[in-house]
Chain A
Amino acid sequence: MKILKLISAVSIGVLILLVSILLFLGSLEASIMKVLMLIGTILWFVVTPLWMKEE
């Protein structure tokens, strides 16, 4: 359960929020950011129901 929660946190904290900050700072291309965000979105919706359902 803790691992699943960690994956959820990474999916929105790193793959969505952090990459948008990196884009803003000029450290990342917009096209790469969009792909990483989509991966983060898919991860969130696959993993989060597994632990949120239990709670």
Chain B
Amino acid sequence: MAENKSAAVNINQNAGGEFERTPVPNSKLKGWKSFLGMYAGEHAAGTEFMIGPLFLAAGASLKDLTFGLLIGNILAILTWRYLVAPIAVSSKLTLYYQLEKIAGKYLVKVYNVVNGLLFCFLAGAMITVSASAVGIPFDISFSVPENILGLSSPAFSLIVIIVGVVMTIVAAAGYNTVSKFANIAAPWMIVVFAACGLSALSQMEVDSLDSLLIEWDKGVSVVQSINGKVDFGFWKIVIFSWLCNAAMHFGMADLSIMRFAKDSRAGWGPSIGMFLGHYMAWICASFMLAAQIKLTGDISANPGALAWSAVGWTGIICVIVAGWTTANPTIYRAGLAFQSLFPSNAKSYSGVILAGLVATAAGIFPALSAKLLDFVGLYGTILGPMGGVIFVNHYLAKKMNFTQDYADKKESGFNLAVLLAWVLPVALGLYFIFGDQKLFAAYAVIPCWIASSLLYVIIMKLQKS
């Protein structure tokens, strides 16, 4: 799921700093191929080690997984290309400044804090992933308690705290160093993912597609004999893989990156990264769990143990590096969001320290990382609808005769129409996700996005702005 790479590293560095409140000048624009390189590293992250095995653990068939991920990833790429890129190229503004012009600076602060909190939980899952690998040499593995707030062993919790504190200090002190290290590690990580998959196939003694399907189905049977029958079918996989990055495309977070594009072809940028990270890496990671089930009967998706079994020390290093290089910028970004909570004379790293503490606290509860499939859907459901407001503001405001960039034009710090258009559909979505219906979180993303868009149009028309 998340961070950066090579030739376009400048884009990422600038995305948070330069031209924050002005359109990107023509001299700084990049060709669409720069975006291919950047996204290639972004989607091969620590969480891939966690998400891949969860498909098998959730009972998905290999056929559904292979074709479902293919369709879902294509839909995600098309969303970037035809939803995000045209607006980014036209306005050339960051998501935050664009939102500030529509929603007002105080509402953007609320959005930032919510965004920061969700980032912390994502970083927490990455800390758990890294800790799972750190524990292997010390023979400390983790169990996932039934209770969402249940703890694993004291030794594993201690490793999570140590890993979390180290990551927080590094994020507060040396973001750029880790960012450069992430660029160096990205190609190596992608190759190690592929090697893990090949090694897992060898462990399963697979020599044909038929034998692979048999081993996979055996794995699913073992999981279901322990966890009970669950359904993770074709369309669920399509929707999940399409919308696991919904905050970035439907939610328009990637406006901040694609504003550096010369033209809308930059929207094809995520295509290589998606198929490396959210296709090849997920499938390879799921093979590792299938191999573990065949070899030991153990159905726990422990990334460190899986990688250790597949490729030894290289796997351990890969899990730690993948978790670290993605948790670090995530904590940093969450910290920037939290910084607005501190007085202006507070130390510049206060927000990062707070974000690191929250992420570490989240990482102590392994059940949270085991719920990653649900969490990324929740992430898109909560943040995605703001993209609907931006879409309406960009395409429909003038045509439907209401004020474009309302807060900016009216000098308002808080646009109530945006708050209502955001909160009401999200509240309803959360009710269905956490209520008796137990809706799969990713299913709520698009209905919430459409509802927010319509609601914003209706409220703006009603208040005759």
**Which 7 A-B pairs give the minimum distances between C-beta atoms?**
A34-B312, A20-B195, A20-B198, A37-B314, A12-B191, A24-B198, A24-B202
A33: CB under 8 A from chain B? Answer: yes
Q: Which residues of A contact B (CB under 8 A)?
A: 12-13, 16-17, 19-21, 23-24, 26, 30, 33-35, 37-38, 40-41, 44-45, 48-49, 52-53
Interface string of B304-341 (1 = CB under 8 A from A): 00000001111001000000000000000000000000
User: Quick check: A37 and B188 within 8 Å, CB to CB?
Assistant: no
**A-B CB contact pairs (8 Å), 23 listed:** A12-B187, A12-B188, A12-B191, A13-B191, A16-B195, A17-B191, A17-B194, A20-B195, A20-B199, A24-B202, A26-B202, A30-B202, A30-B203, A34-B311, A34-B314, A37-B195, A37-B311, A37-B313, A38-B313, A38-B314, A40-B314, A48-B188, A52-B6
List the B residue with the shortest CB-CB distance to A28: B202
Residues of B near A45 (CB, < 8 A) are: 184-185, 188
User: Quick check: A16 and B314 within 8 Å, CB to CB?
Assistant: yes
Point out the residue from A13, A30, A44 that lies within 8 Å of B199, measured CB to CB: A30
Instruction: Give CA–CA (A13, B188) in the complex, Å.
Output: 9
Instruction: Give CA–CA (A23, B195) in the complex, Å.
Output: 10
Q: By CB atoms of chain B within 10 A, which of A24, A30, A53 has the most?
A: A24
Q: Tell me if A's interface is mostly helix, strand, loop or mixed.
A: helix
B364: CB under 8 A from chain A? Answer: no
The smallest beta-carbon distance between A22 and chain B, in angstroms, is 9
Point out the residue from A26, A41, A53 that lies within 8 Å of B314, measured CB to CB: A41
B183: CB under 8 A from chain A? Answer: yes
B201: CB under 8 A from chain A? Answer: yes
B192: CB under 8 A from chain A? Answer: yes
Instruction: Give CA–CA (A44, B187) in the complex, Å.
Output: 10
Residues of A near B185 (CB, < 8 A) are: 45
List the A residue with the shortest CB-CB distance to B308: A34
Instruction: Give CA–CA (A52, B179) in the complex, Å.
Output: 13
Q: How large is the interface on B (under 10, 10 to 19, 20 to 34, 35 or more residues)?
A: 20 to 34
Residues of B near A23 (CB, < 8 A) are: 198-199, 202
Residues of A near B198 (CB, < 8 A) are: 20-21, 23-24
User: Quick check: B195 and A41 within 8 Å, CB to CB?
Assistant: no
Instruction: Give CA–CA (A16, B194) in the complex, Å.
Output: 9
User: Quick check: A41 and B317 within 8 Å, CB to CB?
Assistant: yes
User: Quick check: B199 and A52 within 8 Å, CB to CB?
Assistant: no
User: Quick check: A48 and B184 within 8 Å, CB to CB?
Assistant: yes
List the A residue with the shortest CB-CB distance to B181: A49
User: Quick check: B194 and A44 within 8 Å, CB to CB?
Assistant: no
The smallest beta-carbon distance between A51 and chain B, in angstroms, is 10
Extra 19 A-B pairs, beta carbons < 8 Å, given A37-B314, A41-B313: A12-B191, A16-B188, A16-B314, A17-B194, A17-B195, A20-B198, A20-B199, A20-B311, A21-B198, A23-B199, A23-B202, A24-B199, A30-B203, A35-B312, A37-B192, A41-B317, A44-B188, A45-B184, A45-B185
User: Quick check: B201 and A24 within 8 Å, CB to CB?
Assistant: yes
User: Quick check: B312 and A38 within 8 Å, CB to CB?
Assistant: yes
The smallest beta-carbon distance between B131 and chain A, in angstroms, is 20
Instruction: Give CA–CA (A23, B314) in the complex, Å.
Output: 15
Instruction: Give CA–CA (A52, B41) in the complex, Å.
Output: 15
Residues of A near B317 (CB, < 8 A) are: 41
Given A20-B198, A24-B202, the answer on whether A52 and B183 have CB atoms closer than 8 Å is: yes
Instruction: Give CA–CA (A19, B314) in the complex, Å.
Output: 13
List the B residue with the shortest CB-CB distance to A48: B184
